[in-house]
Structure 1
């Protein structure tokens, strides 16, 4: 396995193309508890607005303009992640929890849980991802009795009126669906040997042609890829990368020169010690090791911690979300190994803002980029939600 030497920290330049966002709206996550608000930890954008999950195991819905829509009747304990179902038009949101369950919510009707899955052991569920064909759900667990597991749940194909996925077709005067009913999901197999510690991230490949390819990252520093059609774990593992530190986030990306292709063969990973690496998983070769992102040039923004990372199709590269201890957030285009660009600086101190909005005053724990509306929502340890828009 080939490794490249670590490059000097890239320089950070102001973007010359992005339109600055302003602080358009702000609201307390829990208006009944302004003195001791819960931390806002997770966020998901959907067609009807946003869902946020907090440290008190509540999930609340808000409109696209951050108007409160109500609290979901969540019964899980120890919420660990919240992720939207695959596909642009998906109405599904999956919530994992330390109680070893993953629930599914239909954003068209948030008054009740669509269904809930429970693992075969007492291991807490930490992260989930749905395959691009919407037939499988991979769920990673914490270390339990010396094993960290990936459960592969798969659905059967059957008619299902009101199914969370699929398109309605008109025939003989009636609406009908003949797609996979996610409520029929069962564990097809479980991988138990690829990781030796908590599994912090799983991500199916986004391409419709590769719905069976999955990556996983762990506290053990490894990122693996699998063909989940294969039951035997030794045969299922396709490639492995060692990041040298606990993985906080990871995902698929296009390799240089392949930005127009959907069959991404690269991965990015960010660790809990704020380091970032890119890998070519087909060749099992490290492309670049950026080291500690806090070493990037101090102006015009200093990153003090990473909130997250994602592959941005429009920019053709990985975007990092960095934060400051004062509650500012930066969206950084990290496509170029030598020159990073500050696409957005979300700061109530320097950005235009709506009357009465003050922005965050503490660490930001979640940020959700909505490419369709060109907006970003953020939530943090101050219990505030902020909407940033053009």
Structure 2
């Protein structure tokens, strides 16, 4: 393991404690949402100067930040009021062409997956009401096939859909059963990872010629495997080389980034020898989110201590 040093940061100050809930890399800078119900944009090279922009949101309880188009700096936010807001974080805006999907909490005996085509305005394109039996916690589009959608739920299921199909009885093309889903996403064209709320991590194949069922690799409780107290998130690499697992230890005040990558035999494993340590982390508080700029060799973290931090090699 080699260590990075904290070289810059910003603290969200308020009369009440503020958690930084998520951060996302954009072309225009670094976007963040915080428990004071704000969406902020930072210059990643000047965190200490504070946000370039900061917008109050109207979600009641802001819970979600997702990148819609990172190059054009379009993000979506959502919360407990049931609305999705689309934000252009640039100075100027232009029409966008794409789809996005939303999953709901379990209410009135339903947990729905909703899809829009933003070219058509606020009108829904599709709605699936019977694909999950509890809160939908994760949605991810396929990296190269935009009609393929993955969803995860606290009902323990990960579903893969062909959204060109409107018939709800036919739309699910793969189902995996791992446990209450915290995070899940595509690792490439044919494989996905699933991280459960009790920190169990596994990799599955969703290839057409591979039947649903057993995981390709089941790591069990990732806290035991990685020697940590919690898993903050798993972030897939844009070059398709796997993912980065963010592992935190409050007792040791350490946050570690571990590469989940292909092994020599074609499986998946943790590259512990080349893991990256962030000594001090966010103190005894939990790291909620992280992202990285490989070209600039900088990592950003956000935590329940109200800080956004930048880390570089010594």
- TM-score band (shorter)? 0.7 to 0.9
Q: Residues 372, 191 of structure 1: CA spacing in aligned structure 2 closer, same or farther, 3 A cutoff? A: farther
Q: Give structure 1 regions of 4+ aligned residues with deviation exceeding 4 angstroms.
A: none
The equivalent residue for 1:333 is 259
Say which structure, 1 or 2, has more relative contact order (CA 8 Å, 6+ apart).
1
Could you give the per-residue CA deviations for residues 141-170 of structure 1, whole angstroms, max 9, x where no partner exists?
A: 11111100011111337xxxxxxxxxxxxx
Q: Find the aligned partners of 2:235 and 2:258 in 1 and give their Cα distance.
A: 11
Match of 1:365 in 2: 288
For structure 2, the 5+ residue unaligned runs are none
Distance in 2 between the 1:203 and 1:38 partners?
A: 28
Q: CA deviation at 1:106?
A: 0.6
Aligned to 1:194: 131
Q: What is aligned with 2:158?
A: 223
- Superimposed CA distance per residue, residues 344-372 of structure 1 (whole angstroms, 9 cap, x where no aligned partner): 101138xxxxxxxxx53411111122334
Q: Is the 8 A contact 2:234 2:244 kept in 1?
A: yes
Matches of 1:339 and 1:82 in 2, distance apart?
28
Residue matched to 1:6: none
Aligned 1:1-390 pairs, distance under 5 A: 14=1, 20-30=3-13, 32-33=14-15, 36-64=16-44, 65-66=46-47, 67-68=49-50, 69-86=52-69, 89-109=71-91, 134-156=97-119, 184-207=121-144, 210-243=145-178, 245-254=179-188, 264-282=189-207, 283=210, 284-285=212-213, 286-296=215-225, 302-314=227-239, 316-326=241-251, 327-335=253-261, 336=263, 337-341=268-272, 342-348=274-280, 359-390=282-313
Q: Aligned in 2, Cα 1:291/1:81: closer, same or farther, shift over 3 Å?
A: same
| 5+ residue gaps, structure 1 | 1-13, 116-132, 158-183, 255-263, 350-358
Shift, 1:56, TM fit: 2.5
The structure with the largest strand share of the pair is: 2
Report if aligned partners of 2:117, 2:125 keep a CA contact under 8 Å in 1: yes
Deviation by residue 1:231-254 (Cα, 9 ceiling, x = unmatched): 1111111100000x2111111013
Q: What's the TM-score, normalizing by structure 1?
A: 0.71
Provide closer, same or farther for how the CA distance between residues 308 and 338 of structure 1 changes in structure 2, counting only shifts above 3 A: closer
Q: Secondary structure at the match of 1:231?
A: coil
SS in 2 for 1:307: strand
Aligned residues: 299
Q: Deviation digits for residues 316-360 of structure 1, max 9, x if unmatched?
A: 1222111111442111012244553242101138xxxxxxxxx53
Once residues 376 and 192 of structure 1 are traced to their aligned partners in structure 2, the CA distance between those partners, rounded to angstroms, is: 39
CA–CA distance in structure 1, aligned partners of residues 221 and 236 of structure 2 = 19
Q: In structure 1, the residue corresponding to 2:152 is in which secondary structure?
A: strand
